[in-house]
Amino acid sequence: MITIETPEAMFALGEKIGSHVKAGDLILLNGALGAGKTILVQGIGAALGIEGVTSPTFVIARTHKGRIPLIHMDAYRLLESGREKLFLDDLDLDTEREGAVTVIEWGGAESARLSEDRLEITIDRAQESREVTINPIGPRWAGIQI
């Protein structure tokens, strides 16, 4: 577990994670509204040479061009509307997942089925600081220290 005290530290953690990603990677982010999920994704984007990452809440998914494209999805509205059976591969994205890094905010069990290799990140904001738990799943992430 990693304790994060500031938005800048959350961004820096995203940059650190982003320095390890490669095309085809899947990252699932979970945490309450305002926990810092989008700031973490902004840091991942920065490591890929991407600026201007914003929350895709109202469009569900955004694709950003960078050293490796970043597909940033927010599944919150899908969950709220009871459409959790709509998978990322059902969306008409400009970039294929195999050639991009895919980050899904509110990524639950339906999102996890997209890859046996993934990072599952949970951000707990029960206090002023955030407690970030990073759970590497599969051989792709074995041995990588974040």
DSSP at 97:
G
> In terms of Cα–Cα distance, which of 116, 88, 84 is closest to 102?
88
Q: What is the CATH number of the domain that holds 63?
A: 3.40.50.300
77/60 Cα distance (integer angstroms): 7
Dump pLDDT digits (tens) for 91-105.
Answer: 555 557 778 999 988
In a domain, 108, yes or no: yes
Task: Give residue 10's pLDDT.
Answer: 95
User: Cα-Cα-Cα-Cα dihedral of 81, 109, 54, 127, to 10°?
Assistant: 100
Domain, as residue range, for 92: 2-115
In a domain, 135, yes or no: no
Element of type H or E holding 29: strand 26-31
Query: Are the beta carbons of 124 and 112 closer than 8 angstroms?
Result: no
Query: Are the beta carbons of 117 and 143 closer than 8 angstroms?
Result: no
Query: Number of folded domains in the chain?
Result: 1
Q: How confident is the model at residue 20 (pLDDT cuts 50, 70, 90)?
A: very high
